Structures are given as structure tokens and as C-alpha cells.
Amino acid sequence: MLVQRLFAAVLLLACAALALMAWPYQAAFSYEPVGPRAFPLLMLGLMGLALLYMLFRPAPIKHSEDEPPLDRATLNKITICVALLLVFAGTFEPLGFIVASILIGVPMARLYGGRWLPSLVIISLLSIGLYWLFDRVMDVPLPLGLLDVLEN
């Protein structure tokens, strides 16, 4: 219980520090409906409320029998997931959203029991669909990277 409350307190302090850093930010022009300042503040505010609940709740969080144990296999999966996300962050610009998503999505699906062919097909369709949704529908430009030759 004490460890959970300490974790919540430390993360709440981190949220407060990040909010203080985000507060003075002003964009030269508004290119999103929410804006580059409001979105992080909103997310940090929601996270702060959840952390306040964690900090002052009356009882500790109980884990059920359905949850996987935090053993070596689970920690390995978490480590691989974090590594894959770091690779995605590093390859997002040079390779582009679609290629980077496929490159990271297929190993992620395999990590959680997906078969090769369905994983490849579904991740490819999902990557293309998400690119289209963000770029065309929501007007959020995503990099094409290696597929830049396909644009217009």
C-alpha cells in the first residue's frame, strides 16, 4: 500500500512539473482544434486526478487471479514492448508512419501470440487505414518516409 501511494505521489509531482513546463507555451498559429498547449495540459490534468485518487483511496488495489503474474516472461514482454516503441520513435520520421508501423506492429503482434500472415495483413491494413484517417480525415500530417514517392 505504501509503495502504491509513493508511486502515485512521485508521478503526481512529475505531472505538476510537466504542467508547469507546458503552461507558458504559446504557438505562433493555431493548427489544431484543441491546440498544442491545451492537449498536454488536459492529459496531465486527467492523469493528475487519477493519481490523486490513487494517493488518497481508502484501500490498496487488489489483484485478481485472472491477471498474469509479474514473472520473468511478463517482464521480458514489457521490455521488448518498450524497445519496440523506442525503435518506432526512432524510425517514424526516416521510414514514415506506414513502414515504421508495420515494422513494429508485426513483432508486437507476434509477441502476443499472433501468427505471421494474419499479423502482417492486419497490421498493414491498419497502418494504411490509420495513415489515411489521420492525413486525409483529421488533417494531421504524418511522414511518408520511404513511401514519399507515392504522394501526388
Rounded to 5 degrees, what angle do the CA atoms 16, 21, 26 make? 130
Q: What is the CA radius of gyration of the chain?
A: 20
Q: What mean pLDDT, rounded, does the chain reach?
A: 84
In a domain, 64, yes or no: no
Range of the domain at 146: 72-150
Give tens-digit pLDDT for 35-86.
Answer: 666 778 888 899 999 989 888 887 766 767 777 667 888 889 889 999 999 9
In a domain, 108, yes or no: yes
CA-to-CA distance for 20 and 115, rounded, in angstroms?
A: 45
Regarding pTM above 0.85, the answer is no
Please tell me whether residues 14 and 52 are part of one structural domain. yes
In a domain, 67, yes or no: no
In a domain, 18, yes or no: yes
